[in-house]
Structure 1
Amino acid sequence: MKLKKVAACVLLSAAVAPAWAACEATIEGNDMMQFNIKEIVVDKSCKEFTLTLKHTGKLAKAAMGHNWVLAKDADVKDLAADSAKAGPAKDYLVDGDARIIAHTKLIGGGETDSVTFDVSKLAAGEKYTYFCSFPGHWAVMKGELKLN
């Protein structure tokens, strides 16, 4: 009898979204133009995903600002170039650019910002890159986001 109850619990737990699914992450950027995480995995059972960016450095936004921008891998190079032209008043992002899946605002040392986005915007098998769009940062401040 106990074995049947255990089997029923196992089957039931497999049928619902896992309670341990990580539907949020925190990433840090510093004054050395580095993110502390190179890969973020989003569980496909999440409806929304929240990314929190913490700038652990001391430099001001004008000198060493960071943001977190998510896009398809194939779009990153052109998107980063276009974003740099948008300027600091627009957080180095082009308003309404469809290539941007999600982004935080540009922050300076000691600041934090978060963004929550709909996981249905991600497709299984697609390659995604996150990066900082502050001019010159995107080449080194980037990582991979995976839908799993």
Structure 2
Amino acid sequence: MTNFTKMIAIMALTLTSLHAQANECELTITANDAMQFDKKTLSVPATCKEVTLNLKHSGNLPKTAMGHNWVLSTAENVQAIATDGMSAGADKSYIKAGDERVLAYTDVIGGGGATSITFSIEGLDSTAAYRFFCSFPGHWAIMQGSFVIEA
């Protein structure tokens, strides 16, 4: 193998590694008109400082009828956040203003919509139980899953 070929191979491996590292900190989840997320677990390595979450709504119904968002919290706070969020209303994506139990959330979107959020996971405990859920009234009990930080 010539030096030039070795250099090209090293560059290709480096770029592949950087691309894979960047992608492992970006997640995509889809919600539908049947009140379902397409994933029950989302995981990221603890080496990620920030995570980008992409939410897509594959359904057709408008957000007033079947809107979905993505909310991250500790497992024990899911129901309380969802209950408090109902009074916050649709304009606030069913999240009470200043709710410190909420670690991250997206806006509510309707069928065919998409949204993203980038948030820090620094300071989160990889041994803690985190949950993601939809805070649209009545959805949280069905639309939820585990968010895992892999140590």
Is this a same-fold pair by TM over 0.5? yes
Residue 32 (structure 1) shift: 0.2
- Note if 1:70 corresponds to 2:99: no
- What secondary structure sits across from 2:61 in the alignment? coil
- What secondary structure sits across from 2:119 in the alignment? strand
- Note if 1:100 corresponds to 2:102: yes
Choose from 117, 120, 135 the match for 1:118.
Answer: 120
Describe how 1:1-148 pairs up with structure 2 within 5 A.
19=18, 20-21=20-21, 22-148=24-150
TM-score, length-normalised on structure 2? Answer: 0.84
Structure 1 residues 112 and 121, CA, compared in 2 at 3 Å: closer, same or farther?
farther
TM-score, length-normalised on structure 1? Answer: 0.85
Residue 130 (structure 1) shift: 0.2
After superposition, what is the alpha-carbon deviation per residue over 1:71-94, rounded to whole angstroms, capped at 9, x for unaligned?
A: 000111111111112111211111
After superposition, what is the alpha-carbon deviation per residue over 1:26-78, rounded to whole angstroms, capped at 9, x for unaligned?
A: 00000000000000011101111000000000000000000000000011111
RMSD (CA atoms): 1.1
Residue 121 (structure 1) shift: 4.0
* Cα distance in 2, alignment partners of residues 87 and 126 from structure 1: 29
- In structure 2, the partner of 1:5 is none
Task: Structure 1: give runs of 5+ residues left out of the alignment.
Answer: 1-17
Number of positions where the alignment pairs a residue of Structure 1 with one of Structure 2 = 131
* Cα distance in 2, alignment partners of residues 30 and 124 from structure 1: 29
- In structure 2, the partner of 1:13 is none
Residue 137 (structure 1) shift: 0.2
